[in-house]
Structure 1
């Protein structure tokens, strides 16, 4: 660690201003509550539960509240893919069809692990591979993707954020190349959650987590049903006890997601558990999509009336802050190699390797895409401004 990183510290007044802004957001109904954890050089400066799980503020959040983390699940799946490369089981150049033969057909048969991680497969970003299907079983998701999600352009030409297909395929590639022949749920638990001490993180709502689990309030912003086979309601997937959806199926706490992010800040190791090498993280946090737009968020920007749609800025399985000053969930004051992930208008973590800063925040009350970007951009800049 460089000398300038050692000398930095938090301004307590600025951290309290960050908390006050969240409180004001909640008071005016932007969202219901947030559990936030911010650290500098591994030292936690803010660890707070603010607000409630519901709009009426009758169910206060706690620092150990368990959330559906939605697409933050992708980050967990992606890190296992990077680890698999380091173990020699996969390569960035491995074609999906060579591991999953049923994923045949031009032009998608040229899709590699690199294309999956960077959302440049040439396949459209569909929200569900088959209408009204259950999404809690990986084998059924893989079959639906192979049968219904086809390439529209050659891989590498466009960046279309994939809500489901990419991580389903990555999860299956991990499963089929696992020397132990484990299920995806066992693989991710044994190789990631347990080594990192992420004791409140699970694929599905483990029975002992149920009492602390926050049922997501979608507030009409999720465009599809997310169905599991045993629980009631249009978003029952997020309450299933067993859920092997590598794209959205995990539950976690802000603390656990902070531990995951802290491992990345430390170069791939935490408390003696080595998940990745420092070199892999250096490569993964670079922008691998150039100036390509993320087509999903270009549409969000146009609908919001933003003058400059943000480039995709995607690394190897991570979102990256990038160079231009644009609307960005990681803020406008973070360094260009700040990297992390986000989920469905409610969850986010990032690591700024220049400032040595980690931000982890899970919230209640799902927001629309543009409003969520602006919310987290503001909170991220507040966190950076607290570093002096």
Structure 2
């Protein structure tokens, strides 16, 4: 399949590799963007945005990129840290007194951003019916007891991360967190990254398809088996109570959902542009960026059930686990989303990379399609 878009001559092999992805008849559509500094060297798209294969993918097609948005929330919080209205090491309860319930009185913003807060999941009963009600979820989260002493273990805050950081932004800035991100990050930089898609843009949203026969790496297989068989496991609760699923990608409530840690609809160009702006100093200072990408936690994550390294709201290169490697330099940082989308940067070489797809794979961490493209990009720079 021939891709549309731009690709400078030095990256022609990447275009060929991207096009080769669509030799698999299960592949529906996707996009790829690579920037070096502020120069866009690759911005490609191919395939269809519907399940029937009748609606071509366009440059402005929006993809459900799930948790790829977490660093946006982190940078928004760090902007407020730079303004002096938030602090990393003051308890969350200082800004949100009700949050102190259930042993959460010592949890700090740093704990939340580094996934060591001890509040990565909500216990039963079923929270899915209230998922789209911000106030109800905030009240539920405020009353939830910790799973462990803050700062002692890693546990990925699948959805809790977005509600906690979002509520801190709302309480200290006054704006809805997704409005803050739009007004301070995406709109000024012309980024096609939507935290709550407006109804006139619904037609641009691509539909997800779950590919068959993709088993994932051993860590992913173990995680999926646990989630499928143990409804009370902390990983199951983190991913399902309430739940994220490609099945939600056809629900208008999900399209409009404003959750700054779990729901985003984007183009590859928009996501790569975020990291390009970040590296160029247009969002936070160099000093704050250094802290953002500095290792804050490292160990076995109780939610992912695999070794993880985190900065302040971003995933860091994990060279001990080849299935979680960005396949670039040792100092890469970014984030994945459910089913295959990813965006990250290599600060040493000034590369910003994003791959988006609607053909969901089975790798819980970095999809092999993205890994292959990233390795080729790194070799070309």
C-alpha separation in 2, matches of 1:141 and 1:17: 47
- 1:117 is displaced (CA, Å) by 0.3
Within a 5 Å distance, the mapping from 1:225-244 to structure 2 comes to: 239-240=253-254, 242-244=256-258
- Whether 1:38 aligns to 2:49 is no
Residue by residue, what CA displacement relative to the aligned partner does 1:95-121 show, whole Å, maximum 9, x if unpaired?
A: 112222222235322110001000011
* Runs of 5+ consecutive residues of structure 2 not aligned to the other structure: 1-6, 213-223, 228-238
* Runs of 5+ consecutive residues of structure 1 not aligned to the other structure: 1-9, 270-274, 300-310
Change in Cα spacing, 1:24 to 1:129, as seen in structure 2 (3 Å) is farther
Change in Cα spacing, 1:251 to 1:134, as seen in structure 2 (3 Å) is farther
SS at match of 1:362: strand
Residue matched to 1:206: 198
Residue matched to 1:166: 161
C-alpha separation in 1, matches of 2:44 and 2:124: 35
C-alpha separation in 2, matches of 1:238 and 1:128: 26
TM-score of the superposed pair, with normalisation by structure 1? 0.80
Residue matched to 2:13: 17
- Whether 1:78 aligns to 2:74 is yes
Within a 5 Å distance, the mapping from 1:304-323 to structure 2 comes to: 311-322=307-318
C-alpha separation in 2, matches of 1:339 and 1:127: 30
CA contact under 8 A between 2:116 and 2:151: conserved in structure 1? yes
- 1:259 is displaced (CA, Å) by 1.8
Among candidates 279, 289, 311, match of residue 287 of structure 2: 279
Deviates more, 1:16-25 or 1:112-121: 16-25
Change in Cα spacing, 1:131 to 1:120, as seen in structure 2 (3 Å) is same
- Whether 1:298 aligns to 2:305 is yes
SS at match of 1:192: helix
- Whether 1:215 aligns to 2:207 is yes
- Whether 1:369 aligns to 2:363 is yes
- Whether 1:257 aligns to 2:271 is yes
- 1:282 is displaced (CA, Å) by 1.1
C-alpha separation in 2, matches of 1:254 and 1:193: 13
Residue matched to 1:359: 353
Residue matched to 1:48: 44
- Whether 1:135 aligns to 2:131 is yes
CA contact under 8 A between 1:54 and 1:217: conserved in structure 2? no
TM-score of the superposed pair, with normalisation by structure 2? 0.82
C-alpha separation in 2, matches of 1:107 and 1:41: 44
SS at match of 2:31: strand
Residue matched to 2:89: 93
SS at match of 1:360: strand
C-alpha separation in 2, matches of 1:126 and 1:50: 39
- Which protein is richer in helix relative to its size? 2
